[in-house]
Structure 1
Amino acid sequence: MTTIPIQHYLFVAAAIFCIGLAIAITKRHFIGILIGIELMLNAVNINLVAFGRHDPERLTGQLFALFVIVVAAAEVTVALAIILRVYGRFQTVDPDEVSELKK
């Protein structure tokens, strides 16, 4: 059985991170920005698991990846709640059109 070198994992993770960053910067609505952030978090998870596989005696990479998944789930929950409140108030999900956040 051949093993995949760690450089391949890092290259894929860097590509996914760059795609996520481009999406988060260029999208014009909150959901697109949230998707870009999730892609960046998944790229970090790929790096953590790759380094965890590189050193099989320790499970720190996999444990950190689980922690990132839990944080990402909480982040999505809070972000979607905020998006729903903004949409209810301003009737739009375009961040450029939301100019005030007061009562």
Structure 2
Amino acid sequence: MIGLMHFLVLAGIVFTIGLLGMVLNRNNLIAILMCLELMLLAININFVAIDRYLDLVDGQIMVFFILAIAAAEAAIGLAIFIVLYQRYASIETEKFAQLKG
């Protein structure tokens, strides 16, 4: 039977993959955005698993808020990527040093 610990370990692995992806890959903005989404997914897994274990719905409500924030973050992030790609013809982070004011 799959218990709470299995879900918590899975969420820990997914969060670690996302964190390592953000730390090790600082060049590609799309990869950084995808790693951030993985980290948010791991948080959602934790909320749902703990709520299922405790027979509550509070964490599941929080998951809806996190999903809304993730969707808004993805939409805004992709819009910024499109504008930056049109201006610099690249999405590598080293090319954006000129944006510092």
Distance 1:26 1:82 in 2: 22
Q: Of 91, 94, 97, which aligns to 1:96?
A: 94
Partner residue in 1 for 2:43: 44
Q: Which amino acid letter does the alignment assign opposite residue 42 of structure 1?
A: L
**Richer in helix (by share):** 2
Partner residue in 2 for 1:87: 85
Stretches (4+) displaced over 4 A = none
**Count of aligned residue pairs for this structure pair:** 100
Structure 2 spans left out of the alignment, 5+ residues? none
Matches within 5 A, 1:37-76: 37-56=36-55, 58-76=56-74
If the length of structure 2 is used for normalisation, what is the TM-score?
0.92
If the length of structure 1 is used for normalisation, what is the TM-score?
0.90
Identical residues among aligned pairs (%): 36
Matches within 5 A, 1:20-31: 20-27=18-25, 28-31=27-30
- How large is the RMSD of aligned CA atoms in angstroms? 1.5
Distance 1:55 1:100 in 2: 51
